[in-house]
Structure 1
Amino acid sequence: MGKGLLAVSTMAWGVHAQADGVDLLAQFMKQARSGRAQFTQVVTSPSRAGQVPRSKTSSGSFEFQRPGKFRFDYRKPFVQTLVADGQTLWLHDVELNQVTARKQSQVLGSTPAALLTAASDLQALKADFQFAPEPERDGLQWVRATPQSPDGQIRAVMMGLRSAAAGPELAVLDVQDNLGQRSVLTFSGFEINPILPAHTFAFKVPAGVDVIKP
């Protein structure tokens, strides 16, 4: 799905010290109806024949609104836009002068994007994922999400959450796929429940761009 991608967190004033990653994730799911942040993404391919693994770094901005809407604007090193409008997932690759359009219902089931945007609470996600707390590290509470089905592309998703004044927020999304690729998104300036204009999640195909509908 493009040159890398994909992404979640938690809530509650007065989260006490015993709250683990699953607690924070559940709180975030209840509180965060929308959000936005800046991100840096590092995609590392598996090593081959003893070679050093190759990594690619990109950055941009991320916005979401429940249910089912999100937007990734990649700005460096290549310009790409990924928009889910609730029905269709649009990927605009400026370098290729190409737009790919897919039905969300067919591509977002057990993905990190579904964790971020699809459900209103943690319980609703348990049909697709198993959740388990991980030890605290780097000042973050961690939770591991493992897809219920072993047949998908994702092996596991690690989410690092931090408590903030306005409630828990997402700090790190670490995605490992079944081909051995790892994608780590680090978020900064996370805003919980900003007012996002409706056009944020409306995608208009630019003139002269090829549209592919697999």
Structure 2
Amino acid sequence: MKRFATFLIAACALSAGATGLNDLESFIKGVKSGKAEFSQVVTAPAKEGQVARSKVSSGTFEFLRPGRFKFIYKKPFEQTIVADGQTLWLYDVDLNQVTSRKQAQALGSTPAALIASSADLKALQADFALADAADKDGLQWVQGAPKAKESQLQSVRVGFKQGQLAALEIVDSFGQRSVLTFSSFAANVPLDAAAFQFKPPAGADVVQQ
């Protein structure tokens, strides 16, 4: 799960229209905050002679530009991922463990850069090869491939329906696929930066990376 932490923040907000890259640019400029519910299916590559296994989880997320995100996993295990603009925090409730790392180093060329870090499409294209992808499953898709040679990602695809965030597909360098689907997406909702502050719970084991 933690390997996807920096990827998942991508979910913090995509809402573009059917015209692909132009609408993605409009979204970056025009959508300053958002929230939604999500479900996630993570599928590891099938080993020889075995069937690929998937894990399903669900929760909520919020985002506030610039650079603030909150993912709260509710099922099947509780976990919180918070980016406050400076630090990325991961809190595993069952383990009572908090992991922190500098946000700028943690994100890199991840989906988060597509939606939270860059100010415009030109800035995104310095880190990603972006292109409109073919419509599929009733969604309009934008595909991105990181230009960094040592990226932990192979590819990321974002799907939109009628101008709203609908899906995010991430394939990492190990061939593991994470598919998030979103519902009840709300754009430009009033959110306070203070809501993205995180304080480790008393007694939690804190690990800095």
TM-score of the superposed pair, with normalisation by structure 2: 0.92
Indicate how the Cα distance of structure 1 residues 110 and 3 shifts in structure 2: closer, same or farther if over 3 A, else same. Answer: closer
Matches within 5 A, 1:99-114: 99-114=98-113
How many residues are aligned here?
204
CA contact (8 A) 2:157 2:168 kept: yes
Residue in structure 2 matched with residue 174 of structure 1 by the alignment: 169
Structure 2: 5+ residue stretches without partners? none
Q: Return the alpha-carbon distance in structure 2 between the equivalents of residues 196 and 54 of structure 1.
A: 37
The residue type equivalent to 1:56 in the other structure is K
Is residue 140 of structure 2 the alignment partner of residue 135 of structure 1?
A: no
Residue in structure 1 matched with residue 153 of structure 2 by the alignment: 154
Q: Return the alpha-carbon distance in structure 1 between the equivalents of residues 152 and 73 of structure 2.
A: 22
Residue in structure 2 matched with residue 185 of structure 1 by the alignment: 180
Note the C-alpha offset of 1:3: 6.7
Q: Which has the higher helix share?
A: 2
Q: Return the alpha-carbon distance in structure 1 between the equivalents of residues 25 and 91 of structure 2.
A: 32
Note the C-alpha offset of 1:158: 0.5
Is residue 6 of structure 2 the alignment partner of residue 2 of structure 1?
A: no
Q: Return the alpha-carbon distance in structure 1 between the equivalents of residues 115 and 34 of structure 2.
A: 10
CA contact (8 A) 2:135 2:141 kept: yes
CA root-mean-square deviation: 1.5
Note the C-alpha offset of 1:114: 2.3
Q: Return the alpha-carbon distance in structure 2 between the equivalents of residues 3 and 79 of structure 1.
A: 16
Residue in structure 2 matched with residue 145 of structure 1 by the alignment: 144
Q: Return the alpha-carbon distance in structure 1 between the equivalents of residues 105 and 3 of structure 2.
A: 20
TM-score of the superposed pair, with normalisation by structure 1: 0.90
Q: Return the alpha-carbon distance in structure 1 between the equivalents of residues 23 and 135 of structure 2.
A: 12
Secondary structure, aligned partner of 1:206: coil
Moved over 3 A (4+): none
Residue in structure 2 matched with residue 203 of structure 1 by the alignment: 198
Indicate how the Cα distance of structure 1 residues 154 and 63 shifts in structure 2: closer, same or farther if over 3 A, else same. Answer: same
CA contact (8 A) 1:25 1:161 kept: no
Percent identical across equivalent pairs?
Answer: 54
